[in-house]
Chain A
């Protein structure tokens, strides 16, 4: 079987890629190894309105839950609220969202196989020969272009010879319960910081229509127990929030919080989590995943038309991505290094001095911001040092 484009993985990145290639008239096949597109999620399902605008998507407000702000909590419980247009967003129902995206790809002309696993791939006559296994047995598909949308566990990257293996120092161990009857303000997402709460990470409560995603991510380096152990403790130590709550689902996953893998080779491109395209501060990856697929398709279209799918030609994808994200990601990585140095007393101090709008400044990694604050409060000197030195 021959196709123009084979997309491995039908998450948000894979379905957007499949739709983009299909609507440009290319013969596109997307394969998903799970028997159902969507569940189980490995994700807290949050997306910002700004992010949705970036990729040009609307979401159905009867299914997905509208958010208007964020509340950040220091270890003592002290709270800083962030509101305003930049905080608007949604907690998605990914079961629905992903099936909608896959259906849009199929409506645009793509074919989709579920319960079908890509087993390996090799170069053959200038194409990739990809071995697939599904209910109808094994078959080989020859593709001019392979899109690796196969998530954190990407095999496509490895088969293409990329150094795509994640590193424990740049990879959060994540665990989440979706729970019913969680007692928080449903219009905000809630983020909890502290070395006992989630070392080098944070805990979150993301309200949904009938439930809430309650989870956390930790970096193994400073963890004394499994992520699940931390989540149990977080729930047990907040009875005012969780007294009447119970789980209706449990999720786990790895979150890459640094980007170092190659993204293109001859006839192959990685998108989304497979390419470690995740915001290194909050670990969100849905918008970047979809955006990377849009850019990959934009760059690959003339390459397919001219039948030049060389690494050099497809490299335009990496250049475009870096134009849009490299500077911002570098700043966020710097901020991540700063946050990883904070002790509980630093979080308390930050909660004391920061107003909601200050956190925007902080998240832009603006040094002038700290210098201004520092002049007013000498006690901030120690904190500023942590911020300024790497």
Chain B
């Protein structure tokens, strides 16, 4: 699963609309990632503030 840096995330939800497997959801102002995540990295490439990363 991708890692979310909660200090950086501005909960804009921009990544949610890109996820090809619907693994991301913004609950109120908290971004959550589900087990469906394939670590494809699309959300990481989008994030305007580098709050997402694929774990090494």
Report A-chain residues with C-beta under 8 Å of the C-beta of B15.
254
**Are the CB atoms of B49 and A165 closer together than 8 Å?**
no
- A253 cross-chain contacts in B, Cβ below 8 A: 12-14, 48
A159-186 contact mask (Cβ, 8 Å, vs B): 1 or 0: 0000001111001011100000000000
| A interface footprint on B16-54 (CB within 8 Å = 1, 0 otherwise) | 111110101111110000000000001001111110000
B10 within 8 A of A: yes
Q: Provided the pairs A42-B14, A253-B12, A253-B14 are in contact, do residues A171 and B46 lie with their beta carbons within 8 angstroms?
A: yes
Chain A positions 129 through 172: 1 when the CB is less than 8 Å from some CB of chain B, otherwise 0:
00000000000000000000001111100100000011110010
Q: Which residues of B contact A256 (CB under 8 A)?
A: 17
Contact, CB under 8 Å: B49 / A254:
no
In angstroms, how far is the closest chain A Cβ from the Cβ of B43?
9
A115 located at the interface, meaning its Cβ lies under 8 Å from any Cβ of chain B in the complex: yes
* B50 lies within 8 A of A228 (CB): yes
| Nearest-CB residue, chain A, relative to B42 | A168
Report the nearest A residue to B17, measured CB to CB.
A152
* A220 within 8 A of partner (CB): yes
Most-contacted residue by chain A among B12, B16, B20, B45 (CB, 10 A): B12
Chain A positions within 8 Å of B19 at CB level: 165
Contact, CB under 8 Å: A226 / B28 = no
Contact A174 B48 (CB under 8 A): yes
Residues in B whose Cβ lies below 8 Å from that of A165:
17-20
A33-41, A302-310, A332-340 - the one binding chain B: A33-41
Q: Does A227 contact B (CB under 8 A)?
A: yes
Which of these, A34, A115, A158, A226, contacts B50 with CB under 8 Å? A226
| Contact flag A173-B46 (CB < 8 Å), given A33-B27, A153-B26, A254-B12 | yes
Q: Once the chains are docked, how many angstroms separate the CA of A226 from the CA of B48?
A: 5
B13 touches A152 (CB 8 A): yes
Complex Cα spacing A167 to B20, Å: 9
Q: How far is the CB of A145 from chain B (nearest CB, A)?
A: 23
A153-B47 contact given A34-B29, A165-B20, A168-B42, CB 8 Å threshold: no
| A187 to B: closest C-beta gap in Å | 29
Q: Is A250 an interface residue (CB 8 A)?
A: yes
Contact between chains at B22 and A158 (CB < 8 Å): yes
Is the CB–CB distance between A153 and B13 below 8 Å?
yes
CB-CB under 8 A for A173 and B14, given A168-B46, A220-B45? yes
Report the bound CA distance from A155 to B16 in whole Å: 9
Task: State whether A175 touches B28 (Cβ < 8 A).
Answer: no
A252 is an interface residue with CB less than 8 A from chain B: yes
The distance from the CB of A42 to the nearest CB of chain B, in whole angstroms, is 5
Question: Do residues B28 and A152 form an inter-chain contact, with CB atoms below 8 A?
Answer: no
Which residue, A34, A117, A153, A171, has most C-beta atoms of chain B within 10 A? A153
Is A104 positioned at the interface, with any CB of B under 8 Å from its CB? no
Q: How far is the CA of A227 from the CA of B24 in the complex (A)?
A: 21
A211 within 8 A of B: no
The answer to whether A228 and B49 touch (CB under 8 A), given A153-B14, A165-B20, is: yes
| Complex Cα gap A35–B11 (Å) | 14
In the complex, A250→B29 CA distance in Å? 15
8 A-B pairs with the lowest CB-CB distances in the bound complex, closest first? A254-B14, A153-B16, A227-B48, A252-B12, A153-B13, A152-B17, A175-B48, A252-B10
14 CB < 8 A contacts A-B: A34-B29, A42-B12, A42-B14, A117-B27, A152-B13, A165-B17, A168-B46, A171-B46, A173-B46, A251-B12, A252-B48, A254-B13, A254-B17, A254-B18
